Amino acid sequence: MHWRGLTSAVLILLFIVQSSGDPVVDNDHGRHATRPISEEDLDRMLETTTGSRQKRAPEARALTPSIVRTIYNIPGGDTAGSGQTVAIVVAFGASSAEADLEVYSTRFGLPSCTTANGCFKKVDQNGGNNIPRDDPTTPISSSWLGETNLDIQWVHATAPGANITLVCANSSSSSDLYPAVMTAASLADIVSLSWGGAESLQSNFERFLANASARGVSIFAATGDSGGPATYPATSPSVIAVGGTTTLTESDGIFSSESGWSGSSGGCSNFYTASEAQQASGSGTDPCGTRRAVPDISFNGDPTSGVPVYVDGSYVQFGGTSLATPIAAGRAAAVKAFTSDIRVIDSFYIYNNITLRDITSGSNQNYSAGGGFDLVTGRGVWTGDLDINTPNADENMKITHLMISETMQTKLPMSMVLNVVESTQETLSATTQTRATTSATATSMSSSALSLPAITFFSFSLFLLL
């Protein structure tokens, strides 16, 4: 067995053993379906895409893949994301997801993405082939299958050239979804999570998220669709929290404006500290202080300006931060594919190296959008990247980011693993929000001193390095 697969399995087993003290949380996909879409409606959408419709006043209307790629300035065209893999974590099995994706791709002129051509892969929460049963919830469009189809179809719509790995947890419980996230992070460098649960202190999973971020895995998580406090894991400082907007377009598909969507959850974490990058930027300090403030960025989420999704033999218009999140993950894949200069899209990148469309109107239950960072849409809508869109971008920023990224992803020799373990233990004991760091200083550690916690961290470090 490949070392990375072996250490992944060991890590998941140890996580299950260690996480007994953390609260078990049920998670909701929180996606909104507004209405069925007829074939006539689809034809009108495609007419909008080709620009053949008569221009009318801006309003919230359904968006097609080509319109979304245009209004969010997705680089790479029809092959956006080529060479990248996005892992999507969901609950239950979604037996028809691949076939539904093929129908969707054909309807909207997207490239085929199947197991046969190597684009699509489905695994269970441990990375194997024991795919769980489908969600029995009815109607199917309201089940986890609806969520799954939304996720994979809109990662594919945003980044048509990217590969997709679907990781299916046995249930919506954190005891199944969190190990599934760990598996996803071992299979791809970009992970999409369109679900969340009530925020709680998840010490062991936080350690994993911090280490995953440190080794170059970009994790995007939906903040929630209630318009109230954000859900976890979006409130983790080690993920990119994605909120939602309402998008207005003209009848020919031309972008008009965006505002904060009333369902975009956001606010200050009750448990977690802001990342170093967020604190350094000053984002969210009013009113959150040093607490984690969410969201970080936003994309279209309002169901009235939602998107078509094929599920259960027909099309339905979906929205929610469950839509915004796969768009964000797809954009990350497109950006990484477009230039070799970008190794990781993490909190540092989001707070230092992107250009945005500031959202200055709209509100959720507790906050209003305004100039700069806010607790409805975060920094705003991610529409550009300094490294690839601005030839004269600050070279010092680029060099610093590349050095950090390369350091985080370096595979150290086995002789240094014990040093990594020692450094990781010291760092994580100080704060569960601080990224684990590696020490280049050669030190020794007696094998007799390896207690169960040390063995656990050894497995963590070995997993991160292989």
Enzyme catalytic residues: 147, 151, 322
Largest alpha-carbon pair distance within the chain?
Answer: 77
Report whether 55 contacts 250 (CB < 8 A).
Answer: yes
Report whether 463 contacts 422 (CB < 8 A).
Answer: no
d(CA 213, CA 262): 30
- Side chain identity, residue 105: S
The structure tokens 């390095």 sit at 465
Parallel, antiparallel, or unpaired: how do β-strands 267-273 and 291-294 relate?
antiparallel
| Six token digits for residue 137 | 């919830």
- For the chain, the straight-line distance linking the first and the last C-alpha, in angstroms and rounded, comes to 13
- Side chain identity, residue 282: G
State the number of CA atoms in the 13 A half-sphere of 460 facing the CB.
31
Strands (E), 170-254: 190-193, 218-222, 240-249
Report whether 100 contacts 113 (CB < 8 A).
Answer: no
Letter string b/e over residues 185-216, b meaning 16 or more CB atoms within 10 A of that residue's CB? bbbbbbbbbbbbbebeebebbbbbbbbbbbbb
Integer-rounded Cα Rg, in Å, for the chain is 21
d(CA 179, CA 183): 6
- Side chain identity, residue 361: S
Query: Which burial class, exposed, middle or buried, applies to 391 when counting CB atoms under 10 A from its CB (0-12, 13-18, 19+)?
Result: exposed
Angle at 130 between CA 125 and CA 134, to 5 degrees: 80
Find the DSSP H helices in 72-173: 97-107, 144-158
The residues pairing with 378 across neighbouring beta strands, listed in sequence order, are: 374
d(CA 82, CA 69): 15
